[in-house]
């Protein structure tokens, strides 16, 4: 199966993956329902129904909720909070999702609009007029305005009992994890408008399978005891194996390509032997060529080299 087909769920406009939150290969397995903990019982599906039945039902509910929000020319903060609360409760299975507003720790004020699973899953909400990465005047502040993304990240970093959380502005829903790095953002973001208005059922399926309440463990377990953490760790192991294989492949390619160039080009061989072309420089040029070829091959495999219409 082509690589592009295996990772369809996040190569569309509806799902964006930034950083190494969960490895792409694990997301592909989740989308194909081939990851661990993906049985009907794991997702708490009622007897007599299947995962697909439940996902299809929740897709229609989500569409109705989004249409109601979008009916307002400029949805208010209150209306957006109501939409996000209903989306998590009625679509993604967070039956105890509750409004909070703020939390205070060591005299520091945090914006936490909603909480699910007894505080285990925080959600920060802003209206559609506020991009998730732009400072918002709609969030409580202790003197410095924060964006929805930075607000939930701050709270996750401050708490040991909450590893995963969300921010949402009605149009976009972003999944984040505790992350001490300030320079390397990592998240998975869904374009809700694209999903619900564009009938992007495959993308909704991945989103539902990924962020259903059952993926976050139970309130009586530690924060790390949840399916999302297990998937993240499994993805890291798979990624390490893939990097090792890539390293071995690059090493073999260096030997084959370098040997072939030297064997077939007398002038080049003489320049290397005389140190006119230092061996380190020759190695660097070979390495650059190989990585350029890898880049082109991956881009071709994903169908990114040409506009599909240009070949017809």
The predicted structure's pLDDT at residue 2: 36
The predicted structure's pLDDT at residue 302: 57
Cβ atoms within 10 Å, residue 25: 17
CA atoms within 13 A on the CB side of 91: 25
Q: What is the pLDDT along the chain (312 residues), one digit of tens a residue?
A: 333 333 333 455 699 888 878 888 888 889 889 888 999 999 999 888 899 999 999 999 999 999 999 998 899 999 999 999 999 999 999 999 999 998 888 888 899 999 999 889 999 999 999 999 999 999 988 778 899 999 999 999 988 888 999 999 999 999 999 987 656 788 999 999 999 999 999 999 999 999 999 999 887 888 778 899 999 888 676 654 455 566 777 788 888 888 888 888 888 888 888 888 888 888 888 888 887 887 787 677 656 666 656 555
Residue from 231, 223, 211 nearest 93 by CA: 211
- C-alpha angle with apex 69: 189 to 214, nearest 5 degrees? 45
Reported in sequence order, the residue ranges of the chain that DSSP labels E, i.e. its strands, are 15-18, 98-105, 108-116, 121-125, 164-168, 172-177, 187-191
Residue 9 burial class via C-beta count within 10 angstroms: exposed 0-12, middle 13-18, buried 19 and up: buried
190 DSSP β-pair partners: 15, 173
Rounded Cα gap, residues 111 and 160, in angstroms = 17
The predicted structure's pLDDT at residue 292: 83
Rounded Cα gap, residues 159 and 81, in angstroms = 23
């Amino acid at each position: 199966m082509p690589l592009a087909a295996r990772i369809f769920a996040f190569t569309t406009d509806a799902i964006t993956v930034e950083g190494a939150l969960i490895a792409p290969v694990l997301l592909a397995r989740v989308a194909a329902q081939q990851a661990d903990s993906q049985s009907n019982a794991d997702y708490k599906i009622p007897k007599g129904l299947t995962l697909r039945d439940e996902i299809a039902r929740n897709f229609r509910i989500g569409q109705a909720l989004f249409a109601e929000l979008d009916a307002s020319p400029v949805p208010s903060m209150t209306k957006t909070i109501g939409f996000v609360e209903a989306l998590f409760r009625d679509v993604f299975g967070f039956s105890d999702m509750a409004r909070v507003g703020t939390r205070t720790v060591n005299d520091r004020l945090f914006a936490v609009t909603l909480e699910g699973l007894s505080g285990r899953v925080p959600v920060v909400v802003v209206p559609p007029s506020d991009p998730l990465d732009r400072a918002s005047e709609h969030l409580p502040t202790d003197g410095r305005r924060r964006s929805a993304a930075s607000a939930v990240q701050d709270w996750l970093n401050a708490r040991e009992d909450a590893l995963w959380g969300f921010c949402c502005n009605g149009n976009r829903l972003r999944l984040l994890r505790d992350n001490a790095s300030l320079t390397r953002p990592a998240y998975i973001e869904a374009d809700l408008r694209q999903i619900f208005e564009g009938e992007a059922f495959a993308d909704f399926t991945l989103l539902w399978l990924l962020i259903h309440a059952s993926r976050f463990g139970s309130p009586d377990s530690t924060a790390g005891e949840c399916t999302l953490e297990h998937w993240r760790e499994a993805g890291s192991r798979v990624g390490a194996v893939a990097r090792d294989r890539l390293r071995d492949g690059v090493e073999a390619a260096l030997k084959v390509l370098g040997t072939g160039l030297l064997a077939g080009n007398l002038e080049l061989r003489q320049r290397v032997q005389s140190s006119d072309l230092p061996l380190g420089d020759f190695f660097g040029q070979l390495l650059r060529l190989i990585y350029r070829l890898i880049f082109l091959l991956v881009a071709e495999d994903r169908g990114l080299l040409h506009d599909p219409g240009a070949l017809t």
